[in-house]
Amino acid sequence: MDIRILSGDITKQRVDAIVNAANSSLLGGGGVDGAIHRAGGPAILAECQELRRGQYGKGLPTGQAVATTAGRLDADWVIHTVGPVYSPAEDRSALLASCYRESLALADRLGADSIAFPAVSAGVYGWPAASAAAIAVAAVREAEASVADVRFVLFTEELLAAFQQALG
Ligand code: ADP
């Protein structure tokens, strides 16, 4: 597995699977979620709505992952995962690690060879950059996935530096 840290807009990546830091509703939001739906077009939202009418009637639980096709994005799949909201009072790092592990396992089942992750939970959900990066890098390194090409695509200088530090 080749793990790389890149800077920029994840919607511009040419990969088999782009991971979305979604919210439990799967019906869109701000941040990277909004960017993915804007760039990918209405097909993604239509599939998310279908998921809500079916298996995920109550929404996608935190730490889990589900795939849709990728609309106009230069990718085959969008893997939606729901990160935990950061809490200083409660350790939710296992749920954040689960987002990466479950996304990679799903990518494997889909036959994806390349995957791009944003910094899940590190935006509106408030996770401190250094901790978010350490959890993400450790979870991916520990995963037993056959995805060959793993990219973290960071949108801020602070997260870029934190992920570079975590990767070593
Ligand atoms: P969460 O609710 O899980 O915190 P956000 O979307 O608010 O999700 O933020 C997750 C991370 O995605 C943040 O670091 C944010 O800066 C970043 N981000 C926002 N837009 C993009 C984009 N187009 N490409 C990559 N990362 C992005």
The ipTM value here is 0.96
Q: Is 33 assigned a catalytic role? A: yes
Question: How many degrees, rounded to 5, is the angle at CA 6 between CA 84 and CA 27?
Answer: 40
Ligand 1: residues with CB < 6 A are 9-11, 21, 31-33, 35, 83, 118-125, 153, 155-156, 159
pTM of the model: 0.98
For residue 116, what are the β-bridge partners? 18, 151
Q: Which domain holds residue 140?
A: 2-167
**What CATH number is attached to the domain comprising 134?**
3.40.220.10
The predicted model gives 151-155 an average pLDDT of 98
Domain total in the chain: 1
Cα 157 to ligand 1 centre (Å): 13
Question: 51-90 pLDDT, tens per residue?
Answer: 999 999 999 999 999 999 999 999 999 999 999 999 999 9
